[in-house]
Amino acid sequence: MQIYKKQSLSETFLIYFDKRMLRILLLGAISGFPWVIIGSSLSLWLKEDGLSRSTIGWAGLIFAVYAFNYLWAPIVDRVRIPWLTEKIGHRRGWIITMQTIILISLVSWSLINPSANLALVISIGLIIAIASATQDITIDALRIEQIGEHEGKSMQAGAAMAVVG
């Protein structure tokens, strides 16, 4: 068990002004964005198109992907993204790849009429959710790697910043 010395209030707040904390905050915000898009846009979109509540509820199963992202986390740890891993690193390569998939999917999603192509809308929503959940895995791993094991208070601050973001 590691025992920490008592810090003053100003020393405690200084932890949050570390560059890494700002990066973690921004990555947390990026991480939550697709969840909001899927949750608010899809429900509203389907409701405006006159679909039943049960259909909208079934579409909400897309969110189940986030509960099972631990299943493919080992794959994300082992698979290297060609070229990107060499240029910007393993974690950042995955984040850029997932951001690209999310962007392309969101643009595609905006061009589809939900009442005419409900299956396609839900399929693209699922792609967004999978890419977002994969991005969450990578962002969490990057956060943990950026803060050393010996930096207990920074680790706690990093977790807080990720949630706030």
Per-residue pLDDT tens for 135-149? 999 988 888 887 766
Q: How confident is the model at residue 80 (pLDDT cuts 50, 70, 90)?
A: very high
pLDDT mean across residues, the chain? 82
Cβ burial, residue 114 (10 Å; 0-12/13-18/19+): buried
- Mean pLDDT along residues 23-29: 81
pLDDT digits (tens, 9 = 90+) for 45-61: 778 877 778 877 887 78
The CA R_g of the chain, rounded to the nearest whole Å, is 19
Positive or negative, the CA dihedral 22, 38, 131, 62 is: positive
| Contact indicator for 144, 136 with CB cutoff of 8 Å | no
Q: What percent of the chain has pLDDT over 90?
A: 32
- Mean pLDDT along residues 145-161: 66
Q: Write the CB contacts of 2 (distance below 8 Å, at least 6 apart in sequence).
A: 152
